[in-house]
Amino acid sequence: MTVYMFPSITPSSSTFELVTNTRTFQSPLTNSVQTASRKGSLWKISMRFNNLSGNDRAIMQGFLAKMNGQQHRMYLHDHSAVKRGIAPSNPADTLVVNSAGQTGSTLVASGATSPRTGYLKAGDYIAFNNELHMVTDDCNSIGSTVSIPIAPPIRKPTVNSQGIDYLQPIFGVFMLSSATSWDTQPGIVSNFTVEAIEDVLA
C-alpha cells in the first residue's frame, strides 16, 4: 500500500461528512434511549469534477487508475476549509502532542510561541498521527500549551512530541469508498465523481 497525494485539481462541488460511530438503544418498556459512543468515527468525502479536459482530465484518469480500487490511499483535505484561528503561519509554530496516551475529545498540545486568544477556532482542522480532526470550540494558548477540543475523538493513543499540522490545507488519509468512473461528452470533456472515506487504520 502506498499513500499518494491527490491531484491539485479543485472540485466543482464537494460534500464533507463526519460519520460518527454511535449507537442508540431504546427500552421496549419505557422508551428511554441510551446512546453509546465508540471509537472509529471517520470523515467521508464526495467530490464532483465537472468538464475536465486536456491535462486535468488525463491526470485524474491516471490517478484513479493508479489507486487500483482500495489498494492504495490518498491525502485529501476539505476544499471548503477556511482558517479562522490566529495561530501563526509565517513563521509557523512547531505544535506537538504534549504527552503520550491521550484519548477522548481534547488534545493537549505544546509549542505555541506566546499566549494568544483564539489560537484555534471552531471549524479549523488539525491533523496528527494520520488522523484528521476538526476543532469544535475556540481555544487559547496559555504559555506554550493549548488544549484543543476536537471531533472525532482520538482513535489511536497519542505519541509524545508528535507533530501537529494546523496549516492549510490539512490532509487526512483516505481510500476510495466505491468504484470510480467518468462520463465523457463530445469534445473529450469528462465529469468525475470521487467518493472516499478516511482510513481509520492509517
* 72 shares a domain with 115: no
Chain segment 35-80, per-residue pLDDT in tens: 767 677 899 999 999 999 999 999 999 999 999 999 999 999 999 9
Residue range of the domain that includes 35: 3-79+172-198
Please give the Cα distance from 29 to 96 (Å, whole number).
49
Please give the Cα distance from 1 to 43 (Å, whole number).
20
Please give the Cα distance from 151 to 125 (Å, whole number).
10
* 93 shares a domain with 163: yes
Chain segment 139-166, per-residue pLDDT in tens: 999 999 999 999 999 999 999 999 999 9
Inform me whether the pLDDT recorded for 179 exceeds 70.
Answer: yes
Stronger pLDDT, 178 or 86, i.e. the higher one: 86
* 183 shares a domain with 128: no
* 180 shares a domain with 157: no
* 17 shares a domain with 86: no
* 160 shares a domain with 86: yes
Residue that has been written with the C-alpha cell 468525475 in this structure: 192
CATH number reported for the structural domain that contains residue 108 in this entry: 2.40.30.290
Query: Whole-structure pTM over 0.85, yes or no?
Result: yes
Chain segment 92-121, per-residue pLDDT in tens: 999 999 999 999 999 999 999 989 999 999
pLDDT score for 36: 67
pLDDT score for 20: 87
Q: Is the peptide bond before 28 cis (omega within 30 degrees of 0)?
A: no
CB-count burial class (<10 Å; 0-12, 13-18, 19+) for 30: exposed
* 20 shares a domain with 51: yes
* 89 shares a domain with 38: no
* 160 shares a domain with 122: yes
Q: Which residues pair with 108 in a beta bridge?
A: 147
* 90 shares a domain with 73: no
Domain count, the chain: 2
* 191 shares a domain with 156: no
Question: What is the separation, in whole angstroms, between the first and last Cα of the chain?
Answer: 10
* 161 shares a domain with 96: yes
